[in-house]
Amino acid sequence: MSPMRLPFVLCTLALAALSAAMSGCGSHAADTNASGATQAPATNAVANAAPQAQTRAEVFAHVKQMTTLGEKLFFDPSLSGSGKLACASCHSPSHAFGPPNALSVQLGGNDMHQPGFRAVPSLEYLQSVPAFTRHFHDSDDEGDESVDAGPTGGLTWDGRVDHGSDQARIPLLSSFEMGSTPAKVAAAVKASPYADDFRKAFGANVFDSDDKTFAAVLQSLEAFEQTPATFYPYTSKFDAFLAGRAKLNDAEMHGLQLFNDENKGNCASCHISQRAKDGSPPQFSDFGLIAIGVPRNRALPVNQNPKFHDLGACGPERTDLKGQDEYCGIFRTPSLRNVATRKTFFHNGIYHKLDDVVRFYVERDTNPEKFYPVSKNGAVDKFDDLPKQYWANINTGPPFDRKKGDKPALDEAEIKDVVAFLDTLTDGYDPAKDKDSQKGIGIGQMKSASN
C-alpha cells in the first residue's frame, strides 16, 4: 500500500509576489530550503519588483513577464562560463527537458569537457514534488496521517533544494555544469537583447548590483519551469485513456496491469498510477527517496576512484544529512511520465534501454550476476555501489522480495508489455490522429475488470 501524495500547488512564486494577500498557499511562504541559506535573495527580488498592495491581476502579469524572461534565460548560453552551455543543452525541450543524447552524464565546465556524475533528470512534472521532509505524513493516505512514508520530496536526485530558484543556482555555478558566477550572469543579462524587459519586470534598479540581477534570473527561471502547458501538459495517451478518449491495446493494458499488480511489477507502489483523491492526474511517483541498489556505473570518470560513492541524500553533493546512515544510498523516485523519451536511466545513468531497467527490477535478486560484477570464483559483488554498512536501507519489497534462483516477477514477454505501457506516458498524443485510438480496452472496462 502506498501513500498518495496530493499535488503541492506551486504557490511560492505568486505568494512571494502577493505577500499575504492570497490565501490558501499558507505555510509554504515561510519555507526554508534544506540548506536554509539561499532563500532570501530570490524572495527579495520578487519583493523588490512587486511592491505591496498589488492586485491579483498585477501579480499574474508580473509572473507572466518573469516566465517570458525565464524562457529566454533557459535557452541562453551566454550565461555560462564557456558561453556555450544553456540550461536547454542538458534539459532538451524535445526530450521532456531531459538529456538530448544517450550519454550517462553530460559534459560541461569552461572547457566543455567536465563530466558530471548524475544523469540529467526531466524537468517535467516537478510541480507536484513536495518540499523535502524526512518524515512524510500524508493526510490523503486513507485518512491516516500517522503513517510515516519516510524521506520524501525536494528537487534533484537527492532532494537537497526545494525551489526552482535555488536549484537554478546549482548548474549556473557548478564547475562541471555552466561554470559561471553571479557577476558573469549579471553581465550577460545586462548585455542581452532582453535587458530592457528585465528592467520592466524587476524595476529600473535591477542592474544596480550583481546579486539583485542574479536573484531576478533565478526567480525568472523558476517561473518558466512552472508553465503548465510546457512542463505539465497531461497530453499522453494514458491521460486520454483516463479521460475516456482513447483505449489501450492489449500489450499496453497488460503492461498497466503488471505495473500495478503487487505480485508482479508492483511498480505503482512507488510510481503511483492512480488519480489522487482530489482527482488530479497520477504523477507516476510518490516522490519518496528510496535505495534500490542501482549498480555502480564504471563508465563514469568519478567512479575510477574506488573510494568515491554517490550516496544520494547523505552526500557528497548534499551535506545536511551527512553522517546519518539511514539516508545513505537513497534517491528521489522520478516520475515516469515521458520516460520513453529518455535514453539514460537511474541517477548514475547506468542503463540506456527501458527493458534493461525493468529487467533490473525483476531480476536484481533472482539473477544478480546479470547486473553486478562477478569475480573469478563466481561470487557476485551485489550492491557494488553502496558500502555494506548501508545495505539495511536497500528496498526489499516486491518485486525485490525474491531470492537467488527464484522465478523473476516478470518474464521477458511481460517486461515487453510493461515497456509498451510506459510508452503511453509520453505527452503529445492526439487521439484524433491515431487511427487505433478506439481499438482495445477503455477505462470503463478496465475499472470493472481490475479494481
Q: Which of 3, 41, 153, 265 binds ligand HEC (CB under 6 A)?
A: 265
The SS3 of residue 354 is helix
260-263, long-range: CB < 8 A, 24+ apart: 260/450, 262/398, 263/398, 263/409
| CB 330 to ligand HEC: min, Å | 7
Q: How is residue 179 written as a grid cell?
A: 561554470
345, 371, 383, 429: which one binds ligand HEC (CB under 6 A): 345
Residue 99 · residue 87 · CB < 8 Å: no
Q: What is the smallest separation between the CB atom of 188 and ligand HEC, expressed in angstroms?
A: 12
Interaction between residue 5 and ligand HEC (CB under 6 A)? no
Is residue 339 a contact point for ligand HEC (CB under 6 A)?
yes
85 vs 242, which CB is nearer to ligand HEC? Answer: 85
Q: How far apart are CA 64 and CA 59, in angstroms?
A: 9
- Using DSSP's 3-state secondary structure scheme, residue 323 falls into coil
Q: Which of 13, 66, 270, 321 binds ligand HEC (CB under 6 A)?
A: 270
Q: Enumerate residues 6+ apart whose C-beta is below 8 A from 20.
A: 29
Distance CA 5, CA 150 (A): 13
CB of 121 to ligand HEC, least distance (A): 4
- The answer to the question of residue 177 lying near ligand HEC (CB under 6 A) is yes
Residue 171 interacts with ligand HEC (CB under 6 A): yes or no: yes
Q: Applying CB under 6 A, which of residues 202, 346, 390, 429 lies at the interface with ligand HEC?
A: 346
- How far is Cα 226 from Cα 74, in angstroms, rounded to an integer? 13
Closest to ligand HEC by CB, 345 or 383:
345
Which residue, 232 or 361, has its beta carbon nearer to ligand HEC?
361
Which amino acid appears at position 398 of this protein?
Answer: P
Contacts with ligand HEC, 195-234, as mask; x by CB under 6 A: --------------------------x---x---------
Q: Which stretch binds ligand HEC (CB under 6 A): 88-96, 300-308, 383-391, 427-435?
A: 88-96
Which range binds ligand HEC by CB under 6 A, 18-26, 164-172, 191-199, 438-446?
Answer: 164-172
Match 546479470 to its residue by C-alpha cell: 370
What ranges in 160-242 are assigned the alpha helix state H?
A: 164-173, 182-190, 195-202, 210-224, 228-231, 237-242
Please say whether the beta carbons of 34 and 152 come within 8 A. no
* Cβ contacts of 305-310, under 8 Å, gap ≥ 24: 309/385, 309/386, 309/387, 310/117, 310/118, 310/347, 310/348, 310/385
Enumerate residues 303-332 that contact ligand HEC by CB under 6 A: 317, 331
Q: Taking CB under 6 A as the rule, does residue 103 contact ligand HEC?
A: no
- DSSP letter assigned to residue 291: B
Minimum CB separation of residue 450 from ligand HEC in Å reads 17
Between CA 198 and CA 164 the distance in angstroms is 19
Among 35-43, 132-140, 246-254, 357-365, which window interacts with ligand HEC (CB under 6 A)? 357-365
Instruction: Give how far the C-alpha of residue 388 lies from the chain's centroid of Cα atoms, to the nearest Å.
Output: 27
The reply to whether 251 sits near ligand HEC by the rule CB under 6 A is no
Applying CB under 6 A, does 358 fall inside the site for ligand HEC? yes
Q: Dihedrals φ, ψ of 391, to 5°?
A: -60, -25
- Residue from 10, 120, 223, 246 in contact with ligand HEC (CB under 6 A): 120
Size of the residue set binding ligand HEC (CB under 6 A): 53
What is the smallest separation between the CB atom of 169 and ligand HEC, expressed in angstroms?
A: 8
Is 338 near ligand HEC (CB under 6 A)? Answer: no
Distance CA 240, CA 248 (A): 10
List residues near ligand HEC by CB under 6 A.
85, 87, 89-91, 106, 108, 116, 118, 120-121, 123, 126, 155-158, 164, 167-168, 171-172, 177-178, 221, 225, 265-267, 269-271, 290, 292, 294, 317, 331, 333-334, 336, 339, 342, 345-347, 354, 357-358, 361, 395, 397, 399, 418
